Amino acid sequence: MGNSDELRRAYRQLIGAVAANDEDALAGIVSAGIVDHSAGPGQPPGLAGIVFWMRGFHASLSDFTGSVEDTVVEGDKVAGRVTWRGTHTGPFLGLAATGKPVTVVSIHILRFEDGLAVEWWGVPDLYGALIMIGARLELQSG
């Protein structure tokens, strides 16, 4: 899977599967042993961890969508900027549902091998999402 168009298509399929909460589609594009370099606390390894993350977002944010804004391909990697949107209808990052709209922009880098995503790096703007739902965050000086 070295063709740039194929890698972009695979990336979009993966983001689409997450947005649709489609575990079967996700399993068709993500290796069971994927290494998530950005895994959060309590997130299991491999595909199970990606499913864990996906289920968490869908449980917290109803009408959850994902839109691929940009992609860059180099070698066997795709970097992309994704905008996730939903309505905060369940606990999210420890905060009770507010009913407020939430937008989370994230940057991902995925490495593909034999048609499957085998490594994932992700940086979501969770700080921005927390502010949108009314979290009061204070910076402390040392």
- pLDDT higher than threshold 70 for residue 1: no
Total domains in the chain come to 1
Flag whether 21 is in a domain: yes
* Position 104 in a domain: yes
Domain at 96, CATH number: 3.10.450.50
pLDDT at 40: 87
pLDDT at 113 over 60: yes
**Radius of gyration (C-alpha) of the chain in whole angstroms:** 15
Does the residue 137 lie in any domain?
Answer: no
DSSP label of 95: B
15 pLDDT exceeds 70? yes
- pLDDT reported for residue 138: 78
Measured between alpha carbons, how far is 56 from 79 in angstroms, rounded to an integer? 23
pLDDT at 2: 58
User: What's the CA gap between 60 and 91, in Å, rounded?
Assistant: 5
Both structure tokens of 85: 């949107």
State yes or no: pLDDT of 108 exceeds 60.
yes
140 inside domain: no
pTM of the model: 0.91
Amino acid in position 55: R
35: domain range? 4-132
Angle between helices 46-60 and 4-20 in degrees, nearest 10? 50
Helix (H) or strand (E) holding 32: strand 30-36
State yes or no: pLDDT of 142 exceeds 90: no
Instruction: Give the model confidence (pLDDT) of 31-82 as tens digits.
Output: 999 999 999 888 999 999 999 999 999 999 999 999 999 999 999 999 999 9
Q: Rounded mean pLDDT of the chain?
A: 95
Does 142 map to a domain? no
Helix then strand then coil, % of the chain, to nearest 5: 30, 40, 30
